[in-house]
Amino acid sequence: MVEDIRLFLNYLAKEKKCSKNTLDAYNNDLSQLVEYLSSLPDQDVNTFDARLLDEERMKLYMQHLKEKNYKLSTIARKIAAARTFLRFMAERGRVKESLTEQLAAPRINKQMPRALSVQDIRRVLDESARLPTSDGRRDRAMLELLYATGMLASELMALNVDDFDAVAGTITVNSQKEKKRVIKLDKRVSGMIKEYIEVHRINLLSDEKQKALFLNQRGDRLTRQGFWQIVQNYADLAGLTVKVTPRAIRHSYAVHKLNAGEDVHLVQEVLGHAHVSTTKVYKQG
């Protein structure tokens, strides 16, 4: 079964283009599944055959997870990993298709993603506009772009200069699943990005071959961790007492747009959600 998991991970990497973090998560969860199954009577981790998987063993595994007192969200993730693996195995005739139906993930009450008020967002953005330095103008451009698009911090940090089209006023976002989405920016935000590139990015640049849009003071691509700290610093300066993260600003974008009457499918497209049900979670009232 260890070999089956290796083939599955290889499939996810090459066919599904999953990120390293996703592959590591699958590997950890499935390794735990193998470890448990091999602990059953007369089993061995190196010789356990996936064809021995049956409804009884999978139900025992689910009960085992519950007895380990994992959070429901953790159990749901581990079950989802097992279901995906079993589906892969069923497609190759290694296990029965019905096995995936026996693994029902625990129901989790979804909470509304935390969002900042419009006033609090404005206070953070206004605080970033106070510094006239090149890194200050960079921060303002990043925060305004984040709130205007709701993109992930990883997507924001992965942007290159060529992803911005000053003439069309658009930004091209490359997601981890290699799906591109082109987002139209309003003139104000587009102007900020243009000014940053033409004036302030040059002051941060140390290597003309550097393609990254947002640079740190060494002229390298700004990291996600560095950006998180920048966001919280401005939240502190604005006097906000709550923890503010890039994801909170992403949530705020979605909530504010939908509450203002924006079409849910348009917000879905901008956020890059695969299913509109994910976007509808942000709708309030």
> Can you give the pLDDT at residue 276?
82
Kind of pairing between the strands at 180-184 and 164-165: unpaired
Question: Which tens digits make up the pLDDT trace of 5-41?
Answer: 999 999 898 888 888 888 898 999 999 888 887 787 6
CA atoms 195, 197, 202, 205: torsion sign: positive
Q: What pLDDT score does 172 carry? A: 95
> Residue 163: what pLDDT?
96
pLDDT in tens, 267-285: 998 988 877 878 887 876 4
Domain ranges across the chain: 2-102, 118-280
Check: CATH 1.10.150.130 for 2-102? Answer: yes
Buried b (16+ CB within 10 A) or exposed e, 43-67: eeeeebebeebeeebbeebbebbee
E strand spans, the chain: 164-165, 170-174, 180-184
Whether residue 107 has pLDDT greater than 60 = no
Average pLDDT of the chain is: 85
Confidence of residue 43 (pLDDT cuts 50, 70, 90): low
Q: pLDDT higher for 178 or 282?
A: 282
| pTM value surpassing 0.75 | no
Determine the CATH number of domain 118-280: 1.10.443.10
Work out the average pLDDT over 183-211: 95
Residue 141 confidence class, pLDDT cut points 50, 70, 90: very high
